[in-house]
A and B are shown apart, each in its own frame.
Chain A
Amino acid sequence: MKQLQDKPAGKDDGLQRALVTPMQRRMFMRYAGATAAVTTLLFATTSCDDDDDTDLDPMAVDLGSGDVGVLNYAYALEQLEAAFYTEVVAKSLGMFSQAEQQIMQDLKGHEGIHRDFLKAALGTSSIPDLEVNFSAINFNDKNSILTTASTFEDLGVAAYNGAGRLLENAGFLTLAGKIVSVEARHAAVIRDMISNGTFSDSANNMGLDPAMMPADVLAAAAPFITTKISANNLPK
């Protein structure tokens, strides 16, 4: 994990791809089961994408599988948040007090660096840039901005809380933990900006914040993301 952002030295990218899960299990068995030399696997992969029948929408961006898939999922959410605060800072800053402007600048910076960090960490495994859809947000209305921010931040917290169990690698789990508590700080501050004292009203009567699974999170985020995203290969 320390080398996460580096491409494995001296490795054939094709070889890696041949062995990873984009090739479906069934296909893997079929091709690998014979006396398949590695070269056969390589050839097999090229035709594999078309046969991939778990991707319901062929145009959808596939987050991938395993820990990489989970990190891509986080990357997708950070892209959404970063794009949002970039818009806020570009269009709406004048509506906020001096202190609030600083908060919006900080949020833009934090989400931007989360996004860029995950992209760098994922390297060639990262999903492409997503196209966002903010048509439902009124950037001339402070309330619309804060409500959206609150939705995104609480959703982000719930997403990371739910995704922790999907990670196999302890280093990635720690990284996700480093990010999620900052998202929770954001969520608390935004909630307090809407109504002071509501910072932790997201928690239930056991004092627990929500934890949501990817399908539910992506459904909630879908109105704001034009690009179709497939989470079909994420760990369950």
Chain B
Amino acid sequence: MNIFSIIEDIEKADPEVYNRLDSRRSAFKHMGSLSKKAALAAIPLALGSVFQKAYGQSTNTVVEVLNFALKLEYLERNFYTQALAANGLIADGAARAAIQKIQMHEAAHVDLLIATIRSLSATPISEPTFNFGKNFPDWNTNYQTFLTLAQAFEDTGVRAYKGQAPNLISNDAVLTAALQIHSVEARHAAHIRRMRNNAGWIVGAGANSNVPAGAQPVYASEDNVAQGGINDIKTLGSGYSADIATGAFDEPLTKEQVVQVVSLFE
């Protein structure tokens, strides 16, 4: 018996189920006074909402997500640190300032994630060895290759955090911090994209992202136009092109998809 599928089923019939139980905390308190019929309907819901928050995600899950995020932040920090040190790679002053700013954020994210994992009495992973030249041998001599990878890392980072957010729903503090990192990664992504003369947002499955074929997994399924049960959001109003519909929503990546991207650099 899967409690989550039960909740999902109930939600399909009653999207306002969470309103009905005004909060998980008071759910049990109120059950005694519900009418019999309502109480019968409410029991699995009450259990479900409690389970989802209280027992659905162990600290282990949260730590796993944090270590996964840490690996990505290590990758980004390492990448920018090496790039800034590479002789003549980032020559332009404004570009250098931007990359330094981004590098500082990634370093701060590494520190924050390590501290958070330790605060949960767990062990942060140590920094892996990355090989940025494995598939992109000129990454630290060719400025355009460097920027291409930077864009891929930032857009992947955005998608990775987004994909993991539901796994943090049980821990408000960690979830909020993850969201606060997530939007900073999106700001980075927008800036790097524009350094490459791309729009700041992702249109289609990489249609406007100008990446080589090998990097396409970074933009897989970004052409999605089905959101929240609406099959095609273009139909919501007149004049919504596919570019608008796909640009307006960033899509998550699963952990497996992110691992696939990262493996290109290990």
Contact = CB atoms under 8 A, between A and B. Distances in A.
Interface of A: 1-6, 8-9, 11, 16, 19-21, 25, 28-29, 32-33, 36-38, 41, 64-69, 102-103, 106, 109-114, 116-117, 120-121, 125, 157, 160-162, 164-165, 167-171, 173-175, 177-189, 192, 196-197, 199-200, 202-203, 205-211, 235
A119 B157 CA distance: 29
B105 interface: yes
B85 to A, nearest CB: 20
Interface string B89-103: 000001001100110
Given A177-B179, A200-B188, A208-B181, A32 B33 contact: yes
A190 B49 CA distance: 40
Contact of A188 (B53, B106, B107, B190): B190
B169 A173 contact: yes
B113 to A, nearest CB: 10
A106 B15 contact: no
Given A5-B230, A32-B33, A110-B244, A192 B191 contact: yes
Nearest to A40: B35
Given A161-B176, A207-B106, A175 B13 contact: no
Interface size on B, as a range, is 35 or more
29 contacts: A1-B8, A4-B15, A6-B15, A8-B13, A20-B20, A29-B33, A65-B19, A103-B199, A106-B247, A109-B243, A109-B248, A113-B240, A121-B228, A164-B175, A165-B175, A168-B53, A170-B52, A174-B162, A177-B162, A182-B186, A185-B187, A188-B191, A199-B188, A199-B191, A202-B187, A203-B105, A205-B108, A206-B111, A207-B106
A109 B105 contact: no
Interface in B187-229: 187-191, 194, 199-201, 227-229
Nearest to A21: B22
A143 to B, nearest CB: 20
A117 B14 contact: no
A206 to B, nearest CB: 5
Interface stretch (B62-70, B118-126, B128-136, B249-257): B249-257
Contact of B98 (A113, A157, A197): A197
Contacts of B106: 207
B179 A180 contact: yes
Nearest to B250: A181
B22 to A, nearest CB: 5
| 7 nearest A-B pairs in the assembled complex, by CB-CB distance | A207-B108, A109-B244, A184-B186, A170-B166, A207-B105, A208-B180, A188-B187
Given A8-B15, A64-B19, A113-B237, A181 B230 contact: no
Interface string B7-24: 010011111101110111
B241 interface: yes
